[in-house]
Amino acid sequence: MSGGPGPGAPASGRPAPDPHGLRGKAVLVTGATGGIGAAIARRFSAEGARVAVAFRSDREAAEKLAAELGAAEDRALAVRYALDEPGSPARAVAEVEARWGAVDVLVANAVRWGVRRAPGSRFEDVPEDDWLPVVEANLAPVIRTVQHSVRSMRRRGWGRIVLISSHNALGGNPGQEFYGSAKAGLHGLARSLMWDVGQDGILVNVVCPGLTTTERVNSGLPEAVRARETAATPTGRLSDPDDVARAVLFLGSAANGNITGESLTVTGGR
């Protein structure tokens, strides 16, 4: 008795379309339990990729998302990843490689939020103990994670790296000098790294979300502020997490054939 069509194949037996070239690829999404991270993980999973849901402390949320994305069929797993633990990037990448052989796509989305400098305070009065952890956590761990991920990408001759920055790194924002400095470093990383990895089939780009309607923003930002920002946006609405996820999906897939070293803003035109 013959078996039915294989995974991902329609009843006709013909392979299902794979326009993004992601079926079976291993994707590591850091900060995957947040609003943008979870949307990114779901987008890649919907394209047939296997997704490692990286989390810092909320294991329950990560395992719930991994279950939704097919952990029982080995299509997802939860991986711990902490920006403030220097050894964490290596451990997370090693766990994905042990399960699936490589990291084909890295989405560096994890973030450490800094305290905004208080209105009326001066830049030079901010203590180093307040700003240094923000700079260190938002830049050095990303570099470490990229270093460890690139090794298996080179072996396979293909890879995609998407670094999640912020519109603050490009347009600036009062009181966020230190966070903006760290995120701006990701742009420098992409522009220089592309020269080292490009001929190995690896493309590296940056996505810069603007104010995005995550649960954190919706619950923590006053409605008047959101209304003001919406009114100042050419499209007349703020981006939602899936707007960002669709941009990341394109840059992190085979649909992106030769775009590298670029920064894409998802801001509704701001």
Catalytic residue IDs? 179
Rounded to 5, what percent of the chain is helix, strand, coil?
A: 45, 15, 40
- Cα separation, 168 vs 219, in Å, equals 21
Q: What are phi and psi of 65, to 5 degrees?
A: -65, -45
Query: What is the rounded CA–CA span in Å between residue 209 and residue 18?
Result: 27
